[in-house]
Structure 1
Amino acid sequence: MKALVLEQKDELSLRDFPAIDHAEQTLGPRDVRIKLHTVGICGSDVHYYTHGRIGPFVVEAPMILGHEASGTVIEVGDEVATLAVGDRVCMEPGIPDPNSRATRLGMYNVDPAVRFWATPPVHGILRPTCVHPEAFTFRLPDTVSFAEAAMVEPLAVGVHAATKARVKPGDVGVVLGAGPIGLVTALSALAAGCARVYVTDIAEPKLEIAAALSPAIVPVRAEGDALVSRVHADTDGWGADVVFEATGSPGAAAGVFAPLAPGGCVVMIGGQPEPISYDAGAAMVREARVENIFRYAHAFPRCVAMLGSGAIDVKPLITRTFGFDESVEAFEIAASAPPSDVKMQIELPQ
């Protein structure tokens, strides 16, 4: 089975990977076998490629990349009841221990034993087929394309963030960062009820994409106090009800309370490579609530439903598509962070 393999930091190859062939010979009674169609390139995939690690997760052996995926069911286990051969699906990439305390409490995303695609030492799915549990595989409505379905995984982050923020109808939101996660967070905040969402970034092309997503999105270039001034001017000096930090930048994270209204909520989304500092005094005088998210939980069915109904449209975020044989080139381009690109995807042969 040919796969996109991260051999080590800065080295990718498209080659046969016999270990995966052997591991997937057996289909469990509640598993399905899926022929992959579309796989998105995530920032974490690129980070493993360029740095060889994310925090405590270190690439110590060749690893297949990719975890944002859609495909078609080609085989089902004997006890599978909700899926059939031929179903078009997307897959939640993190599989927890069903007996762990975190899972039993409904917080399966923070289960220390979770096995997440393309997080060392677990292989990802930039390969022709995979075996996956029925419980974490979701049938697609006819109105949702494979490309849109491969966006469910990043969209789930935004939906989880909006859920943790407890967005109310009419809220004013701020999203720091107009990358893929920032933009799906802005869309999720609007779907949850925000009347207006300000989106900041240093890249003008990304702000143009953000502005085109909805008339309720206000792009603001991340320069000096431009964001705080704009938000305060538009809210009679009150501020935003919720601020989402989606840059992973220590500088941005340090200023999360500046545009926040009293009693507002900050949601930390962006992964920080090192410990960060923020103004605890600014949080205190606002009685600010701070939420942190780690991936998502219980979000995939909601995302699929919203894509199916048209409540959220992710198509404008898909800015470039590559063939499977172009996977190495695709990652090289993604690593260069072109300012006009949001989400790059790879299509596998059908």
Structure 2
Amino acid sequence: MKSLVLEKVNELSLRDFPIEKSEEALGAHDVRIKMHTVGICGSDVHYYTHGSIGPFVVKDPMILGHEASGTVIETGSAVSTLSVGDRVCMEPGIPDPNSKATRLGMYNIDPAVRFWATPPVHGILRPTCVHPEAFTFKLPDAVSYGEAAMVEPLAVGVHAATKAQVKPGDIAVVLGAGPIGLVTALAAIAAGCARVYVTDIVDRKLEIAASLHPAITSVNVASESIADRVSRDTGGWGANVVFEATGSPRAAQGIFEPLCPGGCVVLIGGQSEPIAYDAGAAMVREARVENIFRYAHVFPRCVDMLASGTIDVKPLITRTFEFDQSVEAFEIAASAPPSDVKMQILLPQ
């Protein structure tokens, strides 16, 4: 089937690509899905430009894409919650149901998880896929295909806010105004934060952040210290939660500076190398530190929040491309235009 294939670093092609029969076989508990919308994630772009992320190395041609929505076109014999014609979004990681991590409820950190567009597993920038019913979620009428394809990145932010144990009235700082930083800010507000400071060094990104919700305050850290700003606004106390969503070692060095005593730091951004960690700053605050790897148990919550209007991700979808423009779309995404948050690709219907 025609797919967007990463041939090697900096080389993409749209071509017919053979899918293994075992991957296309419909099991009793599976559904076959016709793809509709697929978002371009930072990890997809990183594989395109670098060929690897940490231990995950692209050694053979690989189909990209993991943020997706579509329509069920076939159901397995034991499927009971989905029907042909249902609009759905899909959680892209399939764990081993018998692993200890899965049995403990931490299926996202199951070492055997098979995650779309993570080598050697293919992604879903292709016409159809087969996916387990348990990781496929029916969409309410109020949620569009585009919004549904945003559930995957939103799940990261909701998982982060959950791990932070946000309480009503908390003050939060989100370092980084990229897509994950922005959905984290929205998730923190939905969880109860009264104010969220979002930092970056690009004014246009900060303008987008400030436009998303009245509770968001943008701070350009190229010209203003976030620690000083939060200290001034909180009477010297600090923020209850700091979310690190830049993936920048330099930004991560200062994660404890805006944090109040007893506060929580949540590390979301993937670091390509070890980072400096100020153990003394953490100690004197008795800071709690949480780490995020993707998400678990939050997709239905995200769908419900989109349906109710609790979270609005529509302003984050800044550009769409037709499937035949996929290579061009990735070239543009790799250039990191400051006015774009999330680019999506629409497959033929």
Which aligned segments of 4 or more residues in structure 1 are displaced greater than 4 angstroms? none
Contact between 2:204 and 2:339, CA under 8 Å: does it hold in 1? yes
Aligned counterparts of 2:115 and 2:273: Cα–Cα separation in 1: 22
How far did residue 17 of structure 1 move? Answer: 0.5
Supply the distance in 1 between the matched residues of 2:69 and 2:221 (Cα, whole angstroms).
34
Instruction: Spell out, residue by residue over 1:71-108, the C-alpha distance to the aligned partner (whole angstroms, 9 max, x if none).
Output: 00000000000000000000000000000000000000
**Rounded Cα–Cα distance in structure 2 between residues aligned with 1:67 and 1:82:** 22
1:260-319 Cα offsets, whole Å, 9 max, x none, are: 000000000000000111211000000000000100000100000000100000000000
Is 1:300 the counterpart of 2:291? The answer is no
User: 1:9 & 1:26 partners in 2: Cα distance?
Assistant: 30
Decide whether aligned partners of structure 1 residues 25 and 292 sit closer, same or farther in structure 2, where only a CA change above 3 A counts: closer
The Cα offsets for residues 6-28 of structure 1, whole Å up to 9 and x where unpaired, read as: 001111000000235x3444210
Q: Is contact 2:29-2:77 (8 Å) kept?
A: yes
Please say if 1:259 is aligned against 2:258.
Answer: yes
Paired with 2:9 and 2:3, the residues of 1 have a C-alpha distance of: 17
Cross-structure match for 1:315:
314
Matched residue, 1:218: 217
Look up the SS of the partner of 2:19 in the other structure: helix
Match of 2:12 in 1: 12
Q: Distance in 1 between matches of 2:267 and 2:225?
A: 21
How many Å separate the matches in 1 of 2:42 and 2:24?
31
Which runs of structure 2 are paired with 1:183-194 in the superposition (5 Å)? 183-194=182-193
Partners of 1:273 and 1:327 lie apart in 2 by 27
Equivalent-residue separation in structure 1 for 2:8 and 2:331 (angstroms): 14
Alignment gaps of 5+ in structure 2: none
Q: What is the RMSD computed on CA atoms of the aligned residues?
A: 0.8
Deviates more, 1:228-237 or 1:145-154: 228-237
Question: Which residue is equivalent to 1:146?
Answer: 145
Alignment of 1:203-282 (within 5 A): 203-223=202-222, 225-282=224-281
8 Å CA contact 2:24–2:129 kept in 1: the answer is no
Whether the aligned pair in 1 keeps the contact of 2:31 and 2:76 (CA below 8 Å) is yes
Q: Which amino acid aligns with 1:9?
A: V
Helix, strand or coil at the partner of 1:18: coil
Segments of 5+ residues of structure 1 without an aligned counterpart are none
- Paired with 1:317 and 1:202, the residues of 2 have a C-alpha distance of 18
Counterparts of 1:66 and 1:93, CA distance in 2 = 10
**Aligned equivalent of 1:336:** 335
Between the aligned partners of 1:191 and 1:112, the Cα distance in structure 2 is 31
Residue aligned with 2:311, SS = coil
1:13-72 per-residue CA deviation (whole Å, 9 max, x = no partner) reads 00000235x344421000000000000000000000000000000000000000000000
8 A Cα contact 2:24 2:130, kept in partner:
no
What code does the residue aligned with 1:19 have? I
Q: How many angstroms apart in 1 are the aligned matches of 2:179 and 2:132? A: 27
State the distance in 2 between where 1:311 and 1:224 align: 33
Distance 1:88 1:158 in 2: 23
Structure 2 distance, partners of 1:234, 1:245, is 20
Matched, 1:44 2:43: yes
1:224 to partner: Cα distance: 5.5
Separation (CA, whole Å) in 1 of partners of 2:58 and 2:166: 37
Cα separation, 2, equivalents of 1:19 and 1:160: 32
Name the counterpart of 2:3. 3
Equivalent AA in structure 1 for residue 261 of structure 2: P
3-state SS, counterpart of residue 19 of structure 1: coil
Partners of 1:169 and 1:238 lie apart in 2 by: 17
Q: Which amino acid aligns with 1:280?
A: A
Partners of 1:100 and 1:25 lie apart in 2 by: 24
| Alpha-carbon distance between aligned partners in 2 of 1:128 and 1:23, rounded to the nearest angstrom | 17
Structure 2 distance, partners of 1:150, 1:256, is: 30
Q: 1:253 deviation in Å?
A: 0.4
Distance 2:270 2:24 in 1: 36
Matches within 5 A, 1:53-92: 53-92=52-91
Instruction: Give 1:227 deviation, angstroms.
Output: 1.1
> For 1:316-346, what per-residue CA distance to the aligned partner results, in whole angstroms no more than 9, with x for missing partners?
0000000000000000000000011100000
Name 2:127's counterpart in structure 1.
128
Alignment-mate amino acid for residue 247 of structure 1: T
Partners of 2:240 and 2:260 within 8 A in 1: yes
SS at match of 1:69: strand
Q: Distance in 1 between matches of 2:224 and 2:327?
A: 40
Residue aligning to 1:178: 177
| TM-score (normalised: structure 2) | 0.99
Give the percent of matched residue pairs that are identical in Structure 1 and Structure 2. Answer: 81
